[in-house]
C-alpha cells in the first residue's frame, strides 16, 4: 500500500509538554475503510495523538494524514476530516436551523438535505436553541451535521461521554448504518470499550505515549481467548501460561494469548475475550504516571 493510500501514518511521533512526555515515539498505521479503536487509560496520550492527527498541535517525527502533513496543511486536510469531541462545541445561543445554515455556508461538502433527514428521526426542533437541548440531543445534532459532510476521515473523542445507554446505542447504530462505508475511515477513543467492540475493525492500546498492542479485530478474536475452568482443570490451565486469572462465581476464568482454541477446548467453556479484560491484563490495571525527560 502506497503512502497516499494510507489514511494515517505515524512514525516516531513525539510530543512533550515541558518535562512531561505525552507521545514517546508513537508508531501507528491506519488503512482506509477501517474503524480503529484507540484505547488507553487517562494520561496515556490519546488526546495528544488526536490533536496531532488533526493539526492542532506541533510534533516531532513523521506524520501523514490522508497524505498531508496536518500541521502545515491543516486547512486542506480539514476539507476531508470531521471531528466530534467529548464536549459539545456548538454555541449554546445558536438555533438548530442556524447551525445548519452555518455548516452549509462554510463547508463545501455539506449536504443539508441529508442532515435534515437525520434530524427528522429525532425529536429535535429546528427552532430550538442548543442550550434547550439535552446532552443526548446535542450529540445527535452534532452527529447529523458531521454525517452530512462527505469526509474521508471521522475522528471521535469520547463521543458518547455522559449519554445514557439508549443514546449510546443509537449513536453507534447511526454511525454504522448511515455514515460508514468502505471509503471512509473512523478513529474512535472511548472508555466504554465493550460497547464499541462489535463495530471496530482494528484495535490499538496506547500507554505512556506508545502503541503497546495493535491488531485487526479478526486477529484479536483468534488470539485472545477466555476459559472458564472447573476446579479439576485449574492446574492444567495454569500450565499453559495464561495472561491473567480471576475468580468468577467460584470458578477460575483464564485469559490466554495465542493459545489455539482446540488446545483449550478440554479445559472448560471457551469464548472470545472482551477488549476490557485484555486491556486490564496488558496494562496491568494501573493508570500510567506522566513520563519525565531524563538527562542524557
* Domains, the chain: 3-216 (3.40.50.300), 220-283 (3.30.70)
CA 281 to chain centre: 19
Query: What is the C-alpha R_g of the chain?
Result: 21
Which of 76-80, 125-129, 246-250, 283-287 has the lowest average pLDDT? 283-287
Higher pLDDT among residues 136 and 242, named by residue: 242
What's the confidence (pLDDT) of residue 64? 97
CB of 107 closer than 8 Å to CB of 90: no
> Which residues are paired to 64 by β-bridges?
9
End-to-end CA distance of the chain: 38
Torsion of CA 107, 111, 112, 115, to 10 degrees: -110
* 252 closest CA partner among 240, 274, 269, 266: 269
**How far is residue 258's CA from residue 27's CA, in Å, rounded to a whole number?**
23
Q: Is the pLDDT of residue 295 over 60?
A: no
Which tens digits make up the pLDDT trace of 175-229? Answer: 888 778 878 999 999 877 888 888 999 999 999 999 999 999 999 999 999 999 9
pLDDT digits (tens, 9 = 90+) for 1-20: 555 578 999 999 999 999 99
Distance between CA atoms of 281 and 224, rounded to whole angstroms?
11
Share of the chain above pLDDT 90, in %: 62
pLDDT of residue 3: 54
Model confidence at 103, in pLDDT bands (50, 70, 90)?
very high
Q: Hey, how many other C-beta atoms are within 10 angstroms of the C-beta on 263?
A: 12
Tens-place pLDDT, residues 224-277: 999 999 999 999 999 999 999 999 888 899 999 999 999 999 999 999 999 999
Amino acid at each position: 500500500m502506497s503512502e497516499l493510500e494510507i489514511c494515517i501514518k505515524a512514525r516516531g511521533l513525539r510530543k512533550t509538554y515541558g518535562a512531561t512526555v505525552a507521545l514517546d515515539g508513537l508508531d501507528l498505521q491506519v488503512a482506509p475503510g477501517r474503524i480503529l479503536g484507540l484505547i488507553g487509560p487517562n494520561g496515556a496520550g490519546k488526546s495528544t495523538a488526536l490533536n496531532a492527527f488533526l493539526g492542532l498541535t506541533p510534533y516531532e517525527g513523521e506524520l501523514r494524514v490522508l497524505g498531508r502533513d496536518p500541521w502545515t496543511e491543516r486547512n486542506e486536510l480539514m476539507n476531508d476530516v470531521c471531528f466530534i469531541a467529548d464536549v459539545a462545541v456548538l454555541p449554546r445561543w445558536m438555533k438548530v436551523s442556524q447551525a445548519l445554515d452555518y455548516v452549509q455556508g462554510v463547508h463545501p461538502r455539506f449536504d443539508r438535505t441529508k442532515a435534515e433527514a437525520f434530524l427528522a428521526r429525532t425529536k429535535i426542533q429546528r427552532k430550538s436553541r442548543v442550550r434547550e437541548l439535552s446532552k443526548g440531543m446535542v450529540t445527535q445534532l452534532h452527529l447529523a451535521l458531521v454525517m452530512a459532510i462527505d469526509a474521508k476521515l471521522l475522528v471521535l473523542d469520547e463521543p458518547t461521554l455522559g449519554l445514557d445507554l439508549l443514546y449510546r446505542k443509537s449513536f453507534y447504530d447511526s454511525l454504522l448504518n448511515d455514515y460508514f462505508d468502505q471509503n471512509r475511515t473512523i478513529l474512535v477513543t472511548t472508555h466504554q470499550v465493550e460497547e464499541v467492540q462489535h463495530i471496530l475493525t482494528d484495535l490499538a492500546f496506547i500507554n505512556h505515549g506508545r502503541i503497546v498492542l495493535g491488531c485487526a479485530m479478526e486477529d484479536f478474536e483468534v488470539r485472545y481467548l477466555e476459559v472458564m475452568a472447573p476446579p479439576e482443570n485449574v492446574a492444567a490451565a495454569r500450565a499453559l501460561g495464561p495472561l491473567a486469572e480471576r475468580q468468577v462465581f467460584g470458578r477460575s476464568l483464564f485469559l490466554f494469548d495465542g493459545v489455539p482454541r482446540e488446545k483449550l477446548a478440554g479445559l472448560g467453556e471457551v469464548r472470545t475475550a472482551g477488549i476490557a479484560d485484555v486491556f486490564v491484563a496488558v496494562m496491568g490495571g494501573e493508570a500510567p504516571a506522566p513520563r519525565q525527560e531524563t538527562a542524557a
